[in-house]
Amino acid sequence: MIDFRLNKIFLLPSFQPFYSFNKYMKRSTSLRSDPWRERTVRCSSVLIVALGVCLIALGVYTTVLVLTEYTSPRPCLSEVCVGTASRVLSALNKDVEPCDDFYEFACGGWIKKNPVPEWATSWDQLAKLREQLTTDLRELLEADDIPGMPKSVLKAKALYRTCVDTDKMQAKGVKPIENLLASLGLPVKPPSVSSNFTWEDISATVRRRLGLNVLVSVQVAEDVRNTSRNRVVIEQVTPGFSERYLLHPEQFGAELDQYHKYIKEMIAIVDPDTDAKKFADDIIDISTRLARIMTPMEVRRSGTHLFHDVSVSQFVQGTGGGPAQWNEHNWDKFLKLVFSNTTVELHPNEDRLIVMDLPYLQKLATLLSETEPLLIERFIWWSVFSTVSPMTLSEFRELGFEFSRAVYGLRARAPRWKTCSANVNANFGLALSYLYVNHHFDNASRVKAIEMVEDVREAFAQTVSHLEWMDGSTRDRTLRKLRAIRNFVGFPAWLLEHDKLDKHYENAEVIEGNLFETFLKLTNAAVKKSFQSLREKPDRNRWVATATTVNAFYSATLNSVTFPAGILQPPFYGNGIEAINYGSIGAIMGHEVTHGFDDQGRRYDEEGNLRQWWSAATLEHYHGKVQCIIQQYSQYHMQQLPNYTVHGFNTQGENIADNGGLRAALQAYSLYAGRHPAADRARLPALPQYTPQQLFFLGFAQIWCGNSTVGALKSKMVEGVHSPNKIRVIGTLSNSKEFAEAWQCPSGSPMNPVHKCVLW
């Protein structure tokens, strides 16, 4: 309601000249005295004055209405906004002060209402969205075939039907495993005596036919020093169970006991005559030995971890400084068997390899020479058996569930359809993407998401332009790399072309009714395709994930960001309020862009080549700011595990990306609001007290609302490269002065510490 009296006060100065002018006119035109005329003039003057007042008042009233229309908060009452408001409100815990613990304030309600499901070990917004996507895929896979469907889609549906038919799997028993083991040159029962076993033959054959890296990892990937070509990459591989658990039995004794029990009970089923306890002892023994020679993650991500470029001949002969035992192993035969049945023949002097873990390989050569062959054979046998056994007897799957129950807190088996939907997605992801985007993705979402990515990129560029610690040359290179980042949003355009989609899967064969044989054929085709890419030029426009993926990615060698259709869904995207969209998916976009400049990504240039392009002075400033983040996160712990702290060094890349991503997203929202002023007036119904800036931070925090079992949380803190969800929110927001301003947090309060770590 407008106070008209207030308008009169402001109208008087404007009215005064008009009144004075009329008085002057009256005197100048009064040539003689005429009472009637004087009364008429006075009456006319009053009417004119009154009319003027009304006109001016009307103008002011209209102006106020217009200004109110364009400046006052306006609730968004669309169906989408109402749903978003309900979700945001339901997640809150208003009993907690936002400046004390914003995660509990933003997520306390969600955490209370969303316990971890019995068939999961963690549950958060990503997990819920994956659950919805898996359900959508099930419906698409179980729907009737439609005439004209791509052949690849029909293959995917056949694989799903085969996977859910556990009766046929059970009927075949362990015979498929025995046939596979024999074809690999391994005994059909657990090895008990030494044989004419050579690890090079078996390990290489297992890699080629099963895609399984045992003892040594071999793959084809871009040459990190020249991404215009592919190279063979050789590096270490995990021994099958967490190396950190293996190396610290005093801390993880309970987990190791459960692993021992799992091995023992699996062996007891497949061969009651084998000493299962001794077999399990041997597997843990050799696994621990392998864990001891592995290059620690802390070294692998540091600058001291070097890439060794050697010729095939140099690698085979060990001329890179290998131990005396190096030549006791037939590395030449190993490589030839890995590339067997492909179009690739390695040339000793022309072809070069990238060895990423030379110290590991040197120690491995010694370990293999000094270890009893039976122990090595048992390890490879177990690696194969434990991989394929779940595709046979239900008893094996049951033991796997019991192991996960004891170690990670799983309480119930996932329904078979979930397992099979995930299996089909892993093997026919693009075919499922074809179905998914036709039913669950609007191209308008893709257009809008691209606009957001560009806003985030521009925001990051503005930040870089004002960094005081970065010199001019490094700044120019940083901006050049930033502008070179390519966006892959939604799904590849060619996906909807049947011929191209079917061409992609032309060598993928599904034997309906036989899951085990189908697995072997699909794996063989995929491995063959991968190894034959050695002679091909890398596809710089390839997608690193399918549309049916609920995640986001940055590729250092491609210098690209990928946001699949699977994650461009509520609550990450499409919330009706742009402040929340930028706080959620915008922060994720900023996170991926920032990965290009974290402790790992910064080593690669705009073409994805590994090389030093930072000045020494700027690098020194950079390391100082990164150290601040490492120290900050190393002090965090979770209430459920008071004796464990976040590994600040191993999580630094993700923490850098979280902090830089949030800052870029907030600035990106400002850019959007500058183009669309109405955005800054939008409010959620039932939550009118929250400004767009506050909604932005709520949007960010609530995408990380989550619960976890203690076992899963421990695994994440010990091995993961991401901080726990709560720490991702607390750590990031406590470094943001904009957050403190938006929520009016006093200096020195838990969410507004005096000292903040700011890099990007």
Is residue 485 situated within a structural domain?
Answer: yes
368 in a domain, yes or no? yes
Average pLDDT over residues 379-390: 98
Angstrom distance (rounded) from CA 547 to CA 143: 20
Q: Are residues 558 and 664 in the same domain?
A: yes
Q: Which of 313-322, 409-418, 688-697 has the lowest mean pLDDT?
A: 313-322
User: What is the residue-wise DSSP string for 118-157?
Assistant: TT-SEEEHHHHHHHHHHHHHHHHHHSPP-TT--HHHHHHH
**In this model, does residue 339 exceed pLDDT 80?**
yes
Which CATH number is 567's domain given? 3.40.390.10
pLDDT tens digits, 215-265: 999 999 999 999 999 999 999 999 989 999 999 999 999 999 999 999 999
Residues 461 and 576 grouped into a single domain: yes
Q: What confidence tier does 323 reach under pLDDT thresholds 50, 70, 90?
A: confident
Greater model confidence, 19 or 94: 94
Task: Supply the pLDDT for residue 51.
Answer: 56
Report whether pLDDT(410) > 50.
Answer: yes
Task: Tell me the C-alpha to C-alpha distance, in Å, between residue 698 and each of 78, 98, 293, 445, 615.
Answer: 20, 10, 45, 22, 38
Place of tokens 């925001």: 459
pLDDT at position 193: 86
Q: Work out the pLDDT band at 302, boundaries 50, 70, 90.
A: confident
597 and 683: one domain?
A: yes
Model confidence at 305: pLDDT above 70: no
Residues 346 and 356 placed together within one structural domain of the fold:
yes
Give yes or no: residues 510 and 659 share one domain. no
Same domain, 674 and 577: yes
Determine the pLDDT at residue 69. Answer: 45
CATH, residue 347:
1.10.1380.10
For residue 79, tell me if it sits in a domain.
Answer: no
Query: Residue 55: what pLDDT?
Result: 52
Shared domain check, 166 and 251: no
- Which pLDDT score, from 0 to 100, does residue 37 have? 39
- The confidence band for 537, taking pLDDT boundaries of 50, 70 and 90, is very high
Q: Is 96 helix (H, G, I), strand (E, B) or coil?
A: coil
Q: What is the pLDDT of residues 155-210, one digit of tens each?
A: 999 999 999 999 999 999 999 999 999 999 999 999 998 778 899 999 999 999 99
Residue 45 reports pLDDT greater than 80:
no
How crowded is the C-beta side of 221, counted as CA atoms within 13 Å?
Answer: 18
pLDDT of 39 higher than 50: no
User: Band of the pLDDT at 12, cuts 50, 70, 90?
Assistant: very low
Q: Quick check: is 455 catalytic?
A: no
| Alpha helix (H) residue ranges in 466-577 | 472-484, 498-504, 515-532
Pairwise CA distance, residues 586 & 582, whole Å: 4
Active site residue 592: yes
Query: For position 85, what pLDDT does the model report?
Result: 94
| CB neighbours of residue 216 within 10 Å | 21
Q: Residue 222 forms beta bridges with which residues? A: 230
Shared-domain flag, residues 126 and 168: yes
Which structural domain range is residue 569 located in? 84-115+442-492+543-742
Do 106 and 144 fall into the same domain?
A: no
Q: Which residues pair with 637 in a beta bridge?
A: 645
Element (H, E) at 90: helix 79-91
Residue 320's pLDDT is 60
Would residue 514 count as lying in a domain?
A: yes
Query: How does strand 560-564 pair with strand 308-311?
Result: unpaired
The secondary structure element, H or E, covering residue 226 is strand 226-235
**626: CB partners within 8 A, 6+ apart:** 599, 652, 656, 759
Residue 756 in any domain: the answer is no
Domain count for the chain, please give it.
4
Q: Looking at the structure, do residues 431 and 395 belong to the same domain, yes or no?
A: no
Determine, yes or no, domain membership for 8.
Answer: yes
- Higher-confidence position of 141 and 19: 141
Catalytic residue among 255, 592, 605, 654: 592
pLDDT of residue 197: 85
Q: Which of 442, 545, 500, 437 is nearest to 150 (CA)?
A: 500
Report pLDDT digits (tens) over 632-642: 999 999 999 99
- Tokens standing for residue 733: 């927001």
- Residues β-bridged to residue 235: 217
Q: What is the DSSP string of 262-279?
A: HHHHHHHHH-TTS-HHHH
Higher pLDDT, 206 or 15: 206
For residue 324, the model assigns a pLDDT of 77
Whether pLDDT at 317 is above 60: yes
Average pLDDT value for the chain: 90
DSSP string for 9-74: HHHHHHHHHHHHHHHHHHHHH--S--HHHHHHHHHHHHHHHHHHHHHHHHHHHHHHHHHHHHHS-E
The pLDDT assigned to 303 comes to 65
Q: Would residue 392 count as lying in a domain? A: yes
pLDDT, average across residues 339-368: 94
Q: Are residues 451 and 508 in the same domain?
A: no
Pairing assessment for the beta strands 706-708 and 122-124 based on DSSP bridges: antiparallel
pLDDT of 18 strictly over 70: no
Instruction: Quickly state the pLDDT bin for 380 (edges 50, 70, 90).
Output: very high
Q: Please check whether residue 335 lies inside any domain of the structure.
A: yes
All residues at 6 or more sequence positions from 217 whose CB lies less than 8 Å from its CB, including other chains: 233, 234, 235, 236, 237
pLDDT at 425 over 70: yes
Question: What would the pLDDT profile of 52-62 be if each residue is shown by its tens digit?
Answer: 544 554 554 44
**Looking at 223, 578, 658, 680, which residue is catalytic?**
658
pLDDT at 108 over 90: yes
Tens-place pLDDT, residues 561-600:
999 999 999 999 998 999 999 999 999 999 999 999 999 9
Residues 395 and 457 both lie in one domain: no
For the stretch 451-470, pLDDT in tens is: 999 999 999 999 999 999 99
As a whole number of angstroms, the distance between CA 696 and CA 513 comes to: 50
Q: Is the pLDDT of residue 44 over 70?
A: no
